[in-house]
């Protein structure tokens, strides 16, 4: 797997929202475990596992909770 940010162009193209939208959304659930955050993106927003995991991995790395 490349860096999580390598998925950003396809995430924006597929879901029609900028990556910043998803990172802001993750701030609201930042206290959840990694896989719970992934599950929330998948269940609540129909996101595929790879895209959701890339966003959460990037978010956690940027916010010191990797």
Q: What is the pTM of this model?
A: 0.92
The angle, 0 to 180 degrees and rounded to 10, between the axes of the packed helices 19-27 and 49-62 is 70
Q: How many independent structural domains does the chain possess?
A: 1
d(CA 11, CA 48): 9
| pLDDT tens per residue across span 11-44 | 999 999 999 999 999 999 999 999 999 999 999 9
Please state, for a pLDDT cut of 70, what percent of the chain lies above it: 95
Residue of higher predicted confidence among 1 and 29: 29
Cα Rg, the chain, nearest whole Å: 11
Domain that holds residue 20: 4-62
d(CA 38, CA 52): 5
């Amino acid at each position: 797997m490349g860096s999580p940010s390598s998925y950003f162009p396809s995430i924006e193209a597929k879901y029609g929202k900028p990556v910043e939208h998803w990172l802001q959304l993750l701030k609201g659930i930042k206290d959840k475990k990694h896989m719970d955050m992934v599950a929330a993106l998948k269940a609540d927003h129909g996101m595929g596992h790879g895209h959701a995991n890339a966003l959460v991995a990037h978010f956690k790395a940027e916010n010191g909770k990797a």
